[in-house]
Amino acid sequence: MKKINFYILLMLITLLSLNQVFAQKVLTLEESKQLALQNNAKSKNSKLEIEASRQIRKSAFTNYFPSISAGGMMFEAQKNLMEIQTQGGDLPVYDGDPANLGSATQFAYLPGGTMGLLKKGTIGYINAVQPIFAGGRIIYGNKLASLGVEVSEFKEKLTKDEIILKTEEQYWQIVSLAEKQKTVQKYEELLNRLLLQVNDAYNSGIVMKNDVLKVKLKLSEILLNKSKLDNGRKLATMAFCQQIGIPYDATLVLKEELNIPDLPQSYYLDKNEALKNRVEYSLLEKSVEAEKLQTNMKLGEYLPQAGIGISGVYMKLDEAKERTLGMVFGTVSVPISGWWGGSHELQERSIKEEIAENNFKNNSELLLLQMEAAWKNLTEAYNQYLLSVESLEQAEENMKVNDDSYKNGLITVSDLLEAQALLQQTQDQLTDAKTNYVVKKTTYLQVTGR
């Protein structure tokens, strides 16, 4: 009966373990980057910025078409708006012969009076004006709007690069902390075994109690470091989940491992060749182009404006019959006095163009320096990785020698603890070196436009 109960308990434990494994969410680096690009607020906003720029471009395109306006009014005044007074008098009667008009002998009396106009009325109109020439402002305005869309798309690419780099940094930070947790766990197991050995030796009178206390003290330090790593990993995981836009999951498992498969030389790209691949370089080009378009827009304000149009008018005044009429018209406007102040504004635009050219040259050089620095950082990170590998091999050999020496009674517990601490330190250094290298690799790929 007891044997049956034992097997039932074992099966329950196994099922619970399997349930926990299946409940875990496992993410690869690529999946994490895709989630970040889909869910990150900056990524969403950059897409909205592109859509806003496209709407501006569509708005600018409507300027090619006629502008249509309509209006109207109704009025009823307290008195007539216009009054015509006539004086009374005798008017010659005309008999049809022009020769008798000056010497007429018969007259008709016309009494004086007042005639009022415009006491009430209704007026409506509709106009359509097609611009023929607007100083080039419509054409350049549309080019500037299209340029705005391109700039928004480039900025979205920059935002994506920033999100990907931050996601990778956080991803590898968690992987690094997980590796350090494994190292601490192994160190803790080693110290626990050593504590049993030292306790046995102390009970047998072979070592002093001080040796037992030294091992316990070191074990307490390890437990403290283990707690710090646990808290650090929890906070890092919370930040990572926020970055990729998913709820915090304490069981989250990151699938990738810290490996250094390739040499830095396999990623090298000539910086002058890579410069034109940089989004920042394209943005600098667009900034120069935008300044030139704005100069053309400003020049267009001081050029003649011409257009043609048609208009329809409806009128009903006082008791008169309704009237409708149409007309075709043309307009020409020449800004004469504006050229005085405009000449200075055009000089200002010329200066701003020159500033944009200078910024383009200076910032292009800074981009080249950034790529060179990123390459140096990558090679230094790889060299640090090689040194860490060598240091770990030496620390492992040192640990093996000290372990054998302790078993043979040739060294003290303090010497063995020091060798163990050095081994853990070099293992952590190797983990940090690997993490630093993979992050520097991503940075170098990004600054070379890849």
| Distance from C-alpha of 77 to C-alpha of 66, rounded to nearest angstrom | 36
> Is residue 5 in a domain?
no
Read off the pLDDT of residues 240-260 as tens digits, 9 standing for 90 and up: 999 999 999 989 999 888 888
The angle formed by the CA atoms of residues 225, 229 and 231, to the nearest 5 degrees, is 115
Bridging pattern class, strands 323-333 and 305-317: antiparallel
Q: Which of 278, 431, 446 is nearest to 377 (CA)?
A: 446
Q: Where are the beta strands (DSSP E) in 134-192?
A: none
What CATH number is associated with residue 404? Answer: 1.20.1600.10
Residue 84 is predicted with a pLDDT of 76
> Is residue 99 in a domain?
no
Per the CB < 8 A criterion, the answer to whether 31 and 259 are in contact is no
Q: Which of 60, 51, 55 is nearest to 142 (CA)?
A: 60
Residue 261 is predicted with a pLDDT of 78
> Is residue 19 in a domain?
no
Bridging pattern class, strands 26-27 and 107-110: unpaired
Task: Tally Cβ neighbours within 10 Å of residue 311.
Answer: 15
Structure tokens at 41: 């607020």
> Is residue 2 in a domain?
no
Q: Which of 137, 194, 142 is nearest to 416 (CA)?
A: 194
> Is residue 198 in a domain?
yes
Q: Which of 329, 331, 282 is nearest to 307 (CA)?
A: 331
| Distance from C-alpha of 165 to C-alpha of 157, rounded to nearest angstrom | 12
Residue 412 is predicted with a pLDDT of 87
> Is residue 304 in a domain?
yes
Domain membership of residue 396 as a residue range: 25-77+116-447
> Is residue 69 in a domain?
yes
> Is residue 85 in a domain?
no
Residues of the chain where predicted confidence (pLDDT) is lower than 50 = 1-3, 6-7, 13-22
Total domains, the chain: 1
| Distance from C-alpha of 324 to C-alpha of 340, rounded to nearest angstrom | 44
Stated length of the chain: 450
- Residue bearing tokens 């900034």: 287
The angle formed by the CA atoms of residues 380, 384 and 385, to the nearest 5 degrees, is 115
Residue 258 is predicted with a pLDDT of 87
| Distance from C-alpha of 94 to C-alpha of 117, rounded to nearest angstrom | 30
Percent helix, strand, coil in the chain, to 5, is 65, 15, 20
Residue 6 is predicted with a pLDDT of 47
Residue 388 is predicted with a pLDDT of 95
